[in-house]
Structure 1
């Protein structure tokens, strides 16, 4: 990493230092609170190696900091020479040249590849330092911090590598390949690179076409200089939202294209990419201070599922773009066979409005169970569209609805009112101890009236209280400023008695920061870690770390996606309190709520041999 760190990528280096500083501060605070430590010092390896510890930590050097730096340097030297050295050292804390009653625990942080991420030093009272629970908790936190440091370091290493590669490129080549207005590739360069990628790689990818809406009107109203700045912001927002490996080009005056690599199962991933692009463009263009900017239509087709050559792939993506443009404003469409026969987004919106009136869009309920007693403790509310012609539709089947602020808020209000009524219909004695988790969008939380609208639902339904409401948000929703409207809405909901759950926790390195600064009461462990924890030591360690953190931070943990008795037994052995998944029950309509309240016999469940 030395060459990268010493490069001239000042902006990326500053951003890296800031992110590492946040992780360091958050980790130190959690360790102090959970272990009762007198002092905590976390030294990332990059900061120690390059001599800028104080720049990152923003404090004066202390005895504990010196001990951590010395232990880290000794470990690196001994490791380089092949000498075996322990990764943990306990020593007395010096006071006025003598040994005091406190103990220093220095621990080397290693990632999954056994690369050194840094050193953690904790000063504790001698009695506490020797206890097994404190050691186990410190081990768990160390694994979590190592994972997060590795993630942020890898991310910025790749970013700096890209910057360095760009700087090595010849100026003439950049001029011929790059559109000077937006910085995206020219049409010719984009086409050549995409054709080569399709020819050389068998990996799945998606060709996405973006069209900026009403660019001519923007130029007419505000002038071409403003229009050029507008296009530059759009291109920058696209590049920021897309993966580093994406190929981005400007194909026409108001049209951009991107080739994005896809994972093996990419249906939801492609939808997430399109959503990120849309949100990034809206945020960037909002800084221009003009109304109705940032609307883009998008169409996508996939290789090799839809087409195996560039020309056909482009044609299909163009057809999907046409469907988006004809369906309304700011829509995204992914090509599907027989698209000319399937409803376009405008038709989906029309059907959505009719379905709301006909009560065809209903809440389904995923039970959450206590993993000790087997009791049902509550439900997560999920959206299902019971279409008479097409059966039960999942949210992925009506993405255009969720991408529109007005329709997304209407959907949340409909589901919330129906779900609260279904819970109340169980009767006061059965419903009073059950919780209801409501998934909300950023549109809901940006609405200043959201808390009052939820209060209105509760006022209309007797027997339920704010303490039974759980507001589920994703980490992406929490990425804004702590003083923003989303933060204020969550604070208001908690003030009234609701709790906030951070969904899919562990999938992003910003999660630890959110625990320190955002109103969070519940962590939901992502099903990805639950599904792999029996085969991956790293995934199991992450699950254990989250559980240890919850114990010390007074947070509730719910494990998502429990599918097998083996996963259940593993979570029970880790003292995980709650869980949900198809092992217990799939999402069910309101008519099945009463039957789902039965207590699960874990002994019988674990003895089944038909899994």
Structure 2
């Protein structure tokens, strides 16, 4: 390829020797035919005396430049490009191919005329003067990039409301987090439309869609300039707000939203009042966008319970994570039989002998140590593991009592009490569970006492009645636990076959210092006597309490004054120690 230099163009703005651009008009066509075989725009470029030269171009290159094969028109085009990122890319490669990139994406123009080009260079042998040359190929990716951008825009938009979707919102939050210079410069609000599923089910999906669109419009009217709204779920919306006064601004935004939503919505000639739960999470520098959004969602759950907007608190979230961890570990512990039953004696207050034992689940974790029942029992109820835990406790308690009979060589005058939760009463077949435990252990029903809380009765009185009657058919004893702390109705006590009232320790422990507590205990004892029920006092911690309860006519008591919960062998030994010969 011949290089001619009878024409030189030095573009304005390129005054240094290394940046001047020279090319020969005739040379543009000399070797162009050799490049025409290439399916893309291509040209041969070189450096001569540190200036960028054009050796030859193919027709597709002229067409891409919009010069219609006119070399004179190409001069203007080339002057502009040589001074741009594209020209510098070619010069750098020609100066040092080993250390320069051989491919770049280049954006040409602005607005609707913007083009997206991919430039790629490959080395060629030097020209006759020993100056470096390269082959430049150019691919116009404008249609492809525009299609990608359009597709991405669709991917980032909610088709129903036209708002940004969850992905778009997360990216926006992430970008704000990257530019934020201080904590609490932004906050994320998550707005959850309450009872939406009921509206959707009763009025149909079209009405539900209409409600979502109207709800979104109202949210927009509650925003300030610069706030960003997105639909992040079915009936969930996310809002990114800028803060000048910290959490005060975030709560003010939540208040505006609630005020705007207080006006009923009109759907199909009906007026519907829609409430929403709002959770707030404050952004900290370098915080992960997904984590921030999850924090706001966690606050929404708290807002649903509290009835007012809630700000995310790390301590509460940490407790929630611990509960989730406890659930996972509890499931594993039940599968591996790592829990144990302890037995707390129930003492006959007249004779001083052991009347029975209450079975209490205990869990010693291999890493966490002892985990309190006050912590893992609620987790078991929330997760549904209480069904598995309850059956395990029933089977083991019955088998333990049978083992004691076998160890002593006679049927002991003892019963074992097992607690039933409201979840068990609602979801499990209690009678089948007890019957199975009796069959496997060989015990009779009168050796078991089933302790139910007041809440298990109040939640579903009809089901509770059927459960009580089924247990009585097995000759089991039924006790109402923690009596006086729930919502008991005297009608339930009269109608249900309850054998024992267990007086809650909150009343028992205050008897020696509070006359009202004594009056309450006395009233419970009188009520039980009138209804033909026995009584057990919980939380007996001193001899004075034991003596007073006995004098008032309480049948039995349990508490640390007598003994703490004991392991199986220790419990049997304790029974022996209090047995009268």
TM-score when normalising by structure 1 = 0.44
Larger Rg: 2
Normalized per residue, the structure richer in helix is: 1
